[in-house]
Homo-oligomer: A and B are copies of this chain.
Amino acid sequence: MKKVRVLIRPKKGLLDPQGRAVREMLQDHGFKVGEVVVGKVVEMEVDDSQDVKTLVEKFIVNPLIEDYEIEET
């Protein structure tokens, strides 16, 4: 088994209402923050034989609206 981490974000240029809400809330509380992006992280133990990219693209992310990165940890 290997451990993989998949980081999933809204595609650049698409609305990220959660990110905007967090940014505005932090600024309202006086914090100096710039862009905020809210996404998901999926951490999995996967058998070494498995094709992680296929698994992720078919079942974990929606490539129409999301970008992703796979990291082995």
Residues of A within 8 A of B (CB): 1, 7-9, 19, 22-23, 25-26, 29, 31-47, 49-50, 55, 59-60
**Distance of A8 Cα from B35 Cα, bound (Å):** 18
**Taking CB as reference atom, which chain B residue is nearest A46?**
B33
Q: Taking the nearest CB of chain B, how far is it from the CB of A62, in angstroms?
A: 14
Picked from B9, B33, B41, B60, the residue with its CB within 8 Å of the CB of A50 is B33
Given A32-B49, A59-B29, CB of A40 within 8 Å of CB of B43 = no
Known A32-B47, A37-B42; 15 more pairs at CB < 8 Å: A9-B41, A9-B43, A26-B44, A26-B55, A31-B46, A31-B59, A32-B50, A33-B44, A33-B45, A34-B45, A36-B43, A36-B44, A36-B45, A38-B40, A39-B42
